[in-house]
Amino acid sequence: MNNKYISDVVKNIPPSGIRKFFDLVTNSRDIISLGVGEPDFVTPWTVRKEAIDVLDRGATTYTSNLGLLELREAVSFFLKNHYDLNYDAENEIMITVGASEAIDLALRCLINNGDEVLVPVPSYVSYSPCIELTRGVPIYVPTYEKNNFIITPDDLKSKITSKTKALILPYPNNPTGAIMKKEDLEAIKDIIIEHDLIVISDEIYSELTYDGKHVSIASLPDMKERTIVLNGFSKAFAMTGWRLGYIAAEHSFIEAMNKIHQYTTICAPIMAQYAGIKAIYECEDDIEKMRKTYDQRRRLIVNGFREIGFGCFEPKGAFYIFPSIKKTGLSSQEFCERLLKEEKIAVVPGDAFGPGGDGYIRVSYAYSIDKIMKALERIERFAKKIF
Amino acid sequence: MSKKMDIIELLNENSRLTDNQISVITGLSEDEVKEIIKNLEEEKVLLKYSTLVNWEKTEKEVVRALIDVRVTPQQGQGFNAIAERIGQYDEVKSVSLISGGYDLSVEVEGKTMKEIAIFVAERLAPIDGVLSTTTHFILKRYKQDGVFFTDGPEDKRLVVTP
Ligand SMILES: Cc1ncc(COP(=O)(O)O)c(C=O)c1O
């Protein structure tokens, strides 16, 4: 970026590791990609039909900034029903353009110049750049395979300073597939309270939890008032292209975030909002079916990688596995480039997800069983060459 | 119960899955999988492990037709006796009782259209109780048993996303 007019903050954001790899992959032919971070299902028909119907009836306007009250009521019902969270539809929920906008809003309403935000890594690629864009400072909290990639009290404590303002809690995790169970959350709760931190809990994969039910940190005593819960429709309802997400938090946070949202976004698309209402009330069976399908694929692919000889952490959420490639002696980038070139399989180098990700690859199982089995054959052939 | 359904659905999708693969996918032990499949076979829930073939891509010449058949139901037997009677021919691949304007839908396979026409005229139509037949030749298959014969819809997702 050598355009002198571009601001320093933007200039200083490092290029995305995923983007780099994307360009490589796009130039290859006949590849099997296991590199995708979105469901392979199309949105359930009921939901698509609703959008078509409301469009037909002329739903083409803005909505209130917070989003359609009916949708906020649906979200409130969903959060109560699924995670035992109590949020008032009128004051404590807002609808956003995906969890992506929600991440940005949560950070912007909290961060003063130089405030530190704790970001567990490996994790989703957006957190650090968004923190930097708000003039905050991302502080990485490494998580380790030996700890099931969760944040331990010691990891957390070691990174807290007087400038620490907030903690991003990205579970179920992209790319590791780790979840934090109730007892894991309880173990860090007191530290969070003691240091007066705000938790930005990105729960976009909450419905894709395969070992018990997802627990939101906001459901623990004394945590609701210091937690901003982010969630959305992209993953659970296979609605990535609709750009629909939401935030649940105490009214004062919602008010602050809505102040930004009203000027930068106005509102999420109205047809997506109407469709979201249907999704919540009528698609429980669809979610369950998709979850079960992911779970089958998860077992298949974890077993496949282990049998080939990779160490593979057993993910309990999302739709990724994060196998270790350390024994090959290759870096993640080298491994992925060679796998792409020699066997035409695309996976994402672990270092794209922050420090600590090198030595791992992210493999998505948002693909049919058939495709996963074909891909595993090629990966096995590749492994035989390099082990 | 639901694990049983899982196995049925997996085999319905791909009958070549091994017991071991099914056990990995479902989380059951291999012995449990074997046991469930054995029971399903005995109960005649699982009838046959077959393959979906796109004959157009082979040298074998195959023509298929769907024949709408109107029949007179028989006293005390309904449609069963005549349906089974029709089903006895090797040329007949499927027989189903259907609702609507006619009674039985019969799928017939032959080498040529003429062969099927002759089969209908000489064997099917004369059967006692058959009132009328209407033959529809299948010209091109797009999808069968959930599988596309054409390329089908492509994966529209970007190849790598965060
Ligand atoms: C952890 C995580 N958070 C947020 C998002 C963004 O989701 P949305 O489509 O709701 O903007 C993603 C998408 O990949 C994600 O993986």
Q: Would you call B160 and A36 a contact, using CB atoms and an 8 Å cutoff?
A: yes
Atom of ligand 1 minimally distant from the CA of A100: 11
What is the structure's pLDDT at A344? 95
In a domain, A30, yes or no: yes
Do A89 and A200 lie in one domain? The reply is: yes
CATH of the domain at A345: 3.90.1150.10
**Cβ proximity of A39 and A240 under 8 Å:** yes
Q: What is the pLDDT along chain A (387 residues), one digit of tens a residue?
A: 579 999 999 999 988 888 888 888 888 888 999 999 999 999 999 999 999 999 999 999 999 999 999 999 999 999 999 999 999 999 999 999 999 999 999 999 999 999 999 999 999 999 999 999 999 999 999 999 999 999 999 999 999 999 999 999 999 999 999 999 999 999 999 999 999 999 999 999 999 999 999 999 999 999 999 999 999 999 999 999 999 999 999 999 999 999 999 999 999 999 999 999 999 999 999 999 999 999 999 999 999 999 999 999 999 999 999 999 999 999 999 999 999 999 999 999 999 999 999 999 999 999 999 999 999 999 999 999 998
- Among left, alpha and beta (phi > 0; psi -120 to 50; other), residue A324 is beta
Helical axes A69-83 vs A270-282, angle rounded to 10°: 30
CATH of the domain at A152: 3.40.640.10
A:245-284 residues touching chain B, CB 8 A cutoff: none
Do A182 and A319 lie in one domain? The reply is: no
Do A182 and A116 lie in one domain? The reply is: yes
Domain boundary among A282, A302, A332: A282
Do A300 and A217 lie in one domain? The reply is: no
Question: Over the range B112-145, which residues count as b (16 or more CB within 10 Å of their CB) and which as e?
Answer: eeeebeebbeeebeeeebbeebebeeeeeeeeee
In a domain, A224, yes or no: yes
Nearest to A372 by CA among A312, A293, A265: A293
**Assembly ipTM:** 0.86
What is the per-residue pLDDT across B92-106, written as a single tens digit (0 to 9) for each?
Answer: 999 999 999 999 999
Question: If you ran DSSP here, which 8-state letter would residue B120 be given?
Answer: I
Q: Higher pLDDT residue, B160 or A196?
A: A196
For residue B157, list chain A residues with Cβ-Cβ distance below 8 A: 36, 38, 40
Mutational test site, ligand 1, from A94, A130, A234, A244, max ligand atoms within 8 Å of CB: A234
pLDDT mean across residues, chain B: 94
Sketch the domain layout of chain B as residue ranges. 2-42, 55-141
Pick from A36, A38, A303: CB nearest B24: A303
Candidates B6, B160, B161: best to mutate against A (most CBs of A within 10 A) is B160
Pick from A33, A40, A352: CB nearest B159: A33
Do A236 and A249 lie in one domain? The reply is: yes
Indicate if ligand 1 lies below 6 Å from the C-beta of A172.
no
Domain boundary among A229, A255, A282: A282
3-class DSSP assignment, residue B128: coil
In a domain, A163, yes or no: yes
Do A299 and A222 lie in one domain? The reply is: no
Q: Would you call B27 and A299 a contact, using CB atoms and an 8 Å cutoff?
A: yes
Q: What is the pTM of this model?
A: 0.93
Do A82 and A223 lie in one domain? The reply is: yes
Indicate if ligand 1 lies below 6 Å from the C-beta of A234.
yes
Residue A100 CA, ligand 1 centroid: distance in Å: 6
Q: Would you call A16 and B162 a contact, using CB atoms and an 8 Å cutoff?
A: yes
Residue B1 pLDDT grade (very low, low, confident, very high; cuts 50, 70, 90): low
Cα–Cα dist A342/A361, whole Å: 16
For residue B152, list chain A residues with Cβ-Cβ distance below 8 A: none
Indicate if ligand 1 lies below 6 Å from the C-beta of A247.
no
Pairing mode of beta strands B130-137, A93-96: unpaired
Give the range of the structural domain holding residue A31, as residue numbers without chain letter: 8-43+285-386
**Cβ proximity of B88 and B119 under 8 Å:** no
CATH 3.10.150, domain B2-42, yes or no: no
Do A201 and A297 lie in one domain? The reply is: no
Residue A348 sits at the chain B interface (C-beta within 8 Å): yes
For residue B6, list chain A residues with Cβ-Cβ distance below 8 A: 292, 296
What is the per-residue pLDDT across B109-123, written as a single tens digit (0 to 9) for each?
Answer: 999 999 999 999 999
A:5-64 residues touching chain B, CB 8 A cutoff: 16, 18, 21-22, 25-26, 31, 33, 35-38, 40
Tell me how many domains chain A contains.
2
Mutational test site, ligand 1, from A38, A95, A104, A124, max ligand atoms within 8 Å of CB: A124
What is the structure's pLDDT at A1? 56
What is the per-residue pLDDT across A299-345, written as a single tens digit (0 to 9) for each?
Answer: 999 999 999 999 999 999 999 999 999 999 999 999 999 999 999 99
A40 CB-near residues (< 8 Å, 6+ apart) = A366, A367, A368, B155, B157
Residue B28 CA, ligand 1 centroid: distance in Å: 33
Instruction: Enter the CATH code of domain B55-141.
Output: 3.30.70.920
Domain boundary among A257, A282, A307: A282
3-class DSSP assignment, residue B156: coil
Nearest CA in chain B to A373: B21
Cα–Cα dist A348/A299, whole Å: 20
**Cβ proximity of A235 and A214 under 8 Å:** no
Question: How far does A256 lie from chain B, in Å, by closest CA?
Answer: 28
Atom of ligand 1 minimally distant from the CA of A202: 3
Q: Which residues of B touch A (CB under 8 A)?
A: 6, 10, 13-14, 21, 24-27, 155, 157-162
Indicate if ligand 1 lies below 6 Å from the C-beta of A18.
no
Q: Would you call B157 and A36 a contact, using CB atoms and an 8 Å cutoff?
A: yes
In a domain, A1, yes or no: no
Do A233 and A356 lie in one domain? The reply is: no
Size of interface A-B (CB pairs under 8 A): 57
Q: Would you call B161 and A35 a contact, using CB atoms and an 8 Å cutoff?
A: yes
